[in-house]
Amino acid sequence: MTYILLLEVVKGLFLKNINMIKITYFVHWTTTDNEKELSSWWYDVELSDLGIKQSIELKNLIKDKHFDVVFCSDLKRAIDSSKLTFEDDVEIVIDNRLRECNYGDYNALPSDIVEPMQEANITNRFPNGESYEDVKARISDFLEYLKNNYDNKSIAIVAHKAPQLALDVLICGKAWEQAFKDDWRKKKAWKPGWEYTI
């Protein structure tokens, strides 16, 4: 009996010292650019009427989930999505590290021009913009910040495509090429939040 009790105490101490942060990732809702088939990237576009409706509906879809804090990109579409879904329930913190990839000269151009260029710019920067590796560096810095400040918390993130792919690379260990291949947008496999643990 004493041996079993000792094992339970040791197990409890061990588990107590495991720092784990649960992340639920949400992508901002439909924008006016999305409806025009434009790729906004750093262009600060508004949510469309549909996007506003979707943000409000998400609140009901996730009503049973608890978050200690919500982090969102500093672009308006992410801020507005966050406010419409979370504002009355939890603190929202705006963080520019969660911004979309800066496509530089290609921001806000038609998606059929921009989308095929993404994988060619994993390490090469878009003219006057960033590479996906630059986004990965931003997200890596953000994750370190979470580890240092939000142990054992449940975090919501509202942001964009590139930061989510960077999480797939950093947390799930995927190569960029695999992250692009597995991207839910290609399969139209949206869901109300993607789970990550660090």
pLDDT tens track for 163-175: 999 999 999 999 9
Query: Checking DSSP bridges between strand 194-197 and strand 22-27, what pairing results, if any?
Result: antiparallel
pLDDT in tens, 46-85: 999 999 999 999 999 999 999 999 999 999 999 999 999 9
Q: Classify residue 41 by its DSSP letter.
A: T
Amino acid at site 124:
N
| CATH code of residue 118 | 3.40.50.1240
Examine residue 69 and state whether it is found in any structural domain, yes or no.
Answer: yes
- pLDDT > 90 in the chain, percent: 87
Query: In 3D, which of 41, 184, 106 has the Cα closest to residue 192?
Result: 184
Lowest mean pLDDT among 14-23, 26-35, 111-120, 179-188: 14-23
- How much is the mean pLDDT over the chain? 92
Does the residue 4 lie in any domain? no
What is the C-alpha to C-alpha distance for residues 68 and 168, in angstroms, rounded to an integer?
22
Residue 76 lies in a domain: yes
Q: Is residue 118 part of a domain?
A: yes
pLDDT confidence bin for 15, thresholds 50/70/90: very low
4-13, 70-79, 105-114, 138-147: lowest mean pLDDT where?
Answer: 4-13
Alpha helices per DSSP H over the chain: 2-16, 32-35, 49-61, 76-86, 111-114, 132-149, 161-170, 176-182, 184-187
115 domain-assigned: yes
Written as one string, the DSSP assignment of 173-198 is ---HHHHHHH-HHHHT---S-EEEE-
How many domains does the structure of the chain reveal?
1
Q: At what angle do helices 132-149 and 161-170 cross, to 10 degrees?
A: 70
Reference 157, options 89, 68, 76; nearest CA is 68
pTM of the predicted model as reported, rounded to 2 decimal places = 0.88
Residue 13 lies in a domain: no
The partner residues of 69 in beta bridges, in order of sequence, read 155
- Residue 148: phi and psi, rounded to 5, are -80, -15
pLDDT digits (tens, 9 = 90+) for 126-143: 999 999 999 999 999 999
Q: Alpha carbon of 18 to those of 21, 156, 165: distances in Å?
A: 10, 20, 26
Q: Is 110 helix (H, G, I), strand (E, B) or coil?
A: strand
Q: Residue 31's domain spans which residues?
A: 20-197
Residue 9: inside a domain? no
Per DSSP, 85 falls in state H
The H or E element containing residue 97 is: none
117 located within any domain? yes
Side chain identity at 13, as an amino acid letter? Answer: L
